[in-house]
Structure 1
Amino acid sequence: MMSQSAIFVDASFLLAIGGHRASGTTLRAAYTVNYEALIEGILKTAKEFSGLENLRIYWYDAAKDAIFTDQHKRIGLIPGVKVRLGRISFNGEQKGVDLKLGLDLVGIARNRAASVAFLVSGDDDLAEAVEEAQDLGMKVVLIGVEKADHRLGVASVAEHLALRVDSIITLPEELIKTAFVKAVSWDPEHATQTATIANAPETIKAAKISTESQLMRPKPGAPKPPTPALLNQRPKFQSPVKATASTAPADYQLVYSSTQQTSGFAGAAGTGDPSAMDVATEVGSSVARNWHASTSQAELKDLLADRPLLPAEIDRVLLKDCAQRIGEWRTDLQDIRRAMRVAFWEQLDQLT
């Protein structure tokens, strides 16, 4: 087996943690990444631990129809980096990413192309691939992001995976701070312009619509801003009273989830943890602010047209952000999920 290393990066895992550290959300539009610096830092961390030269970095991500985006092309042009893409399904989930990573890891071990594999991931679905590579004589080292208050010392890594790797090391905190930068902030002018379009009365005159459209100045070829009539076709979502352990709303509202093909009714919050409910509300509001600050008028129109159904990509961000704060098992509680979605719509109503 050749004395060199290979690095396998689950981009969704790494970007979610780094982006959350920088912007408080896993929404990719809310932060920018210096990929060149990030990849150089990963290479340096691996080299300092093993002393080996690197075969290449395998970068795993997902895209619609597995077609390279401009971002993926940028990463793929970095020397020594190979981008491997899975697909994004109709409900926003990644498909084929873990499978590609696991097959490549075992393939490199079987071909004896590297003696040490560095794995940047936290997914327990990779545990079997790790053991197979080890059985073939390869050492597998997990590279994580430090989290001092976690029992494993790293963020968002499944214990099932952590128990199977040979070692766990962490990326320098300074690398995460410099490679990830918050990209969006709330812009009062943007808020005013958005509110003009979203809340203008239906009786507005055509001349006024024309004037406001000129103020928005959409780029050539971009979708036209929605008319007030379009946005007012659906009634505004009336969310239930903020639920706590001791309160119950007077009426019930239909609640939809983009992660399931079913709907339910929002009743009392039951006996949920008040602090967890507060976090859920804060997460919902934060995601709404970040999304609204980086969205286009066409995207806003589409979101409002499907209300109260949330797009899968936004719902997944809500769940990821909340899990970063209170853990996955609490985030799975229906009261917590409901509070996030209600807070998202309430915040969006205030912004528009």
Structure 2
Amino acid sequence: MVAGVRAAADNEPRMNHDPGAPSPTDLGTRLERTNELLQRMLAEVAKTPSTHAIFVDAGYVHAAAGLLVAGTEDRRSFDLDAEGLIDAFIDKARTIFADSRLLRVYWYDGARRRIHTSEQQAIAELPDVKVRLGNLNANNQQKGVDSLIRSDLESLARHRAISDAALVGGDEDLVPAVEAAQGYGARVHLWGIEAAEGRNQAEPLLWEVDSTRTFDLDFCRPYVTRRPVTTFESESEPPPSRDEVRLLGARIAATWLGERGPDSLAELLPGHPYLPGPVDQDLLVEAERRLSRSLRGHAVLRRSLRDGFWQQLQSRL
């Protein structure tokens, strides 16, 4: 009987014990240590404040604020106190995101060949401000700004660098940027400037964001100043001659071509003798700046100015 029981026991499968495996006591100790580390990490995360950033489409701000306060979207007709406006945006964000810290303000603008203007350089030197430049084509249209905004928004949200983004803009092309940031858990708040009439922000953009806020005339007025325009009628000195204005047009054309290159010239030639509206406006404003006089009431002088501009360009062919 005893022999039979012993034989049966010998036939039962035996559990192999790995000498290197941790004992139940060791496993319990490790779990306790892991839980303690997790609790410490969660406590640190709870102490870490959330972070926000402000993304400003400068083209939208100039157009919307200029139209609202100065009655024009033409940036050459008014001055924008960018530093004061940025400070106002920061103060507003501090109020809205009371328990959050500012990462920085991103200021998106266009420039010829992405070279900072003196105004953009001054903005870039402000504390907590990052200037990001797209390009400007021959018609003064911004190119690449929306893609820069999307890249920054998406990257910061993906790396959990921000929890909230205040986006100052209105272009429908910004919708993918909003979607990308939201996909990584960030909340996007659309800030806009009161429209003089109708709307200045695309409806699909308004639908996509987490909240909206509009700044009115009283908010914008301190930061927009219309530039004075002088006229010949108010001047005691006689106006310049047609030859003087024609020569000035040639000088401006030489500068224009040097900044933009031969490709821009090729774009203008099919329209001769007419200049595209933005180029013609640039020419007129620059001539008035150099003359310290207005040419708005002198059609003959304006034609001389354009003649000199074209003659200089054609001499380069």
TM bucket by the smaller chain? 0.5 to 0.7
Read off the aligned partner of 2:168 and give its amino acid letter. V
Deviations 1:87-123 (A, max 9, x none): 1123432221111111101111001101000000101
Q: Are residue 95 (structure 1) and residue 149 (structure 2) matched?
A: no
Contact persistence 1:20–1:26 (CA under 8 A): yes
SS at match of 1:163: helix
Q: Report the residue type matching 2:178 in the other structure.
A: V
Structure 2: give runs of 5+ residues left out of the alignment: 1-44, 251-266, 272-277, 296-301, 311-317
Kept after mapping to 1: 8 A contact 2:64/2:195: no
Deviation (angstroms), 1:191: 6.9
Aligned length: 235
Equivalent residues in 2 for 1:117-266, closer than 5 Å:
117-147=165-195, 150=198, 155-188=199-232, 195-198=239-242, 225-227=245-247
**CA RMSD after TM alignment:** 3.9
Q: State the alpha-carbon separation in 1 of the partners of residues 73 and 203 from structure 2.
A: 22
In the other structure, the counterpart of 2:254 is none
Give CA-to-partner distance per residue, 1:27-82, whole Å, 9 cap, x none.
22211121221001111222222222211000000111101111011101111100
Structure-1 residue corresponding to 2:101: 53
CA contact (8 A) 2:249 2:287 kept: no
1:186/1:293 contact within 8 Å kept? no
Counterpart among 89, 94, 109 of residue 42 in structure 1: 89
Q: CA deviation at 1:11?
A: 0.3
TM-score by length of 1: 0.57
- Structure 1: which amino acid aligns with 2:227? A
Q: Do the aligned residues in 2 keep the contact of 1:27 with 1:291 (CA within 8 Å)?
A: no
What is the deviation of 1:292? 7.9
Conserved? CA contact 1:140–1:167, under 8 Å: yes
Per mean C-alpha deviation after superposition, the further-off stretch among 15-24 and 176-185 is 15-24
Q: 1:148 to 1:303 in 2, by over 3 A?
A: closer
> How far apart, in 2, do the equivalents of 1:4 and 1:294 lie?
47
Check the 8 A contact 1:194/1:297 in 2, yes or no: no
TM-score (norm 2): 0.63
Aligned positions of 1:282-321 closer than 5 A: 291=285, 294-297=288-291, 303-305=306-308
1:70 equivalent in alignment to 2:99: no
- Match for 2:133: what amino acid? L
Does the aligned pair in 1 maintain the 2:246–2:307 contact within 8 Å?
Answer: no
Q: Distance between the aligned counterparts of 1:85 and 1:31, measured in 2?
A: 21
Match of 1:107 in 2: 155
Query: Which of 55, 60, 65 does residue 8 from structure 1 map onto?
Result: 55
- Whether the aligned pair in 2 keeps the contact of 1:42 and 1:171 (CA below 8 Å) is no
Counterpart for residue 134 of structure 2: 86
% identical equivalent positions = 32
Task: Give the distance between the partners of 1:68 and 1:228, measured in 2 at CA.
Answer: 26
Name the amino acid aligned to 2:170.
G
Q: Return closer, same or farther for 1:91/1:227 CA change in 2, 3 Å cut-off.
A: closer
Q: How big is the shift at 1:7?
A: 0.6
Matched residue SS, 2:110: strand
Contact 1:9–1:59 (CA under 8 A) maintained in structure 2: yes
Alpha-carbon offset, residue 302 of structure 1: 5.1
Deviations 1:204-240 (Å, cap 9, x if unpaired)? xxxxx8xxxxxxxxxxxxxxx535998xxxxxxxxxx
Range 50-59 or range 90-99, more displaced: 90-99
Letter in 2 for 1:3: S
Contact kept in structure 2, 1:30 and 1:294, CA below 8 Å? no
